Amino acid sequence: VQLLESGGGLVQPGGSLRLSCAASGFTFSNYAMDWVRQAPGKGLEWVSGIISSDGRTYYADSVKGRFTISRDNFENTLSLQINSLRAEDTAVYYCAKRARDGHNSAADYWGQGTLVTVSS
Amino acid sequence: DIQLTQSPSFLSASVGDRVTITCRASQDVRNYFAWYQQEPGKAPKLLISAAITLESGVPSRFSGSGSGTEFTLTLSSLQPEDSATYYCQQLSTYPLTFGGGTKVEIK
């Protein structure tokens, strides 16, 4: 299993970024996926999740309305469109594979993360 | 949202010590619960799922217990490579939430 995030960088407050996660080594369409972030020196924060079978999406309250998760089961790619960025969105963003496609399963594989820095 | 209160936030113990980390949920999460280990500069690693199930390749000195609102991660004999931060996570209800973390230091 490999998860390779990309798309992070320095962006001004109010700006946008699109994060991507290229998945390989497993049947991507069979698993739910998450984005989890970690601000510098802080703990883990679950950001968003998406179920493969029905496309249902879920968000943390802190990002609802600004972030959009999506997936392409043909390209084996998970994405996170992040808009209206704030300083508090500065974090390493991890892509994570869930143990099955559905609820209640833990994240059994993680990428190495991509850093998003929001600053003027 | 379900809050997870993890304790202690920091502990220092010697090699061979038995170490226990506790996580309390603000609502019943049944056994939809996981523990992760994160070494500095690395991605988290899943240790235990479904509250008590040890993931493949994880040393047997790690164990999980609990259900409902109180959960425990136990390291039966602390090893130098266990120096890391440990997080709990509830998987019962969206938004999913993590505990604040426990940093484990080897004396």
Q: Under a CB-based contact definition with an 8 Å cutoff, are residues A14 and A68 in contact?
A: no
Cβ within 8 Å of residue B39, ≥6 positions away: B45, B83, B84
Residues A83/A62/A45/A114 CA torsion (nearest 10 deg): 10
* DSSP-assigned letters across all residues of B72-102: EEEESS--GGG-EEEEEEE-SSSSPEE---E
Question: What is the mean pLDDT of the segment spanning A44-61?
Answer: 96
Q: What are residue A92's DSSP bridge partners?
A: A38, A115
Q: Taking CB atoms and an 8 Å limit, are B91 and A58 in contact across chains?
A: no
Question: What is the mean pLDDT of the segment spanning A67-72?
Answer: 98
Report the C-alpha gap between A33 and B29 in whole angstroms.
20
Task: Indicate the length of chain A as a whole number.
Answer: 120
What is chain A's mean pLDDT, rounded? 97
What token pair was written down for A20? 């991507």
Nearest to B1 by CA among A22, A100, A76, A59: A59
Which residue carries 């047997």 as its tokens?
B60
pLDDT at A72: 97
pLDDT band at B10 (very low <50, low <70, confident <90, very high): very high
Radius of gyration of chain B (CA): 13
Cβ within 8 Å of residue B36, ≥6 positions away: A44, A107, B44, B45, B46, B47, B86, B87, B88, B89
pLDDT at A103: 83
pLDDT at B15: 97
Question: What is the mean pLDDT of the segment spanning A91-95?
Answer: 98
What are B11-69's pLDDT values in tens digits?
A: 999 999 999 999 999 999 999 999 999 999 999 999 999 999 999 999 999 999 999 99
Report the C-alpha gap between A109 and B26 in whole angstroms.
27
pLDDT band at A9 (very low <50, low <70, confident <90, very high): very high
Q: How far is A40 from chain B (nearest CA, A)?
A: 11
What token pair was written down for B35? 């523990």
DSSP letter, residue A89: G
Radius of gyration of chain A (CA): 13
Q: Choose from A2, A5, A46 for mutation: most chain B CBs within 10 A.
A: A46
Nearest to A21 by CA among A96, A89, A83: A96
Q: Taking CB atoms and an 8 Å limit, are A94 and B100 in contact across chains?
A: no
Q: Choose from A104, A108, A109 for mutation: most chain B CBs within 10 A.
A: A104
Q: Taking CB atoms and an 8 Å limit, are A43 and B49 in contact across chains?
A: no
pLDDT at B62: 98
Q: Taking CB atoms and an 8 Å limit, are A106 and B89 in contact across chains?
A: yes
Q: How far is B100 from chain A (nearest CA, A)?
A: 6
Query: Is pLDDT at A102 greater than 90 in this prediction?
Result: no
For residue B29, give the chain A residue with the closest CA.
A104
What are B62-106's pLDDT values in tens digits?
A: 999 999 999 999 999 999 999 999 999 999 999 999 999 999 999
Q: Under a CB-based contact definition with an 8 Å cutoff, are residues B1 and B95 in contact?
A: yes
pLDDT band at A38 (very low <50, low <70, confident <90, very high): very high
Query: Is pLDDT at A21 greater than 90 in this prediction?
Result: yes
Q: Is the peptide bond before B95 cis (omega within 30 degrees of 0)?
A: yes
The gap from C-alpha A80 to its chain's centroid, in whole angstroms, comes to: 5
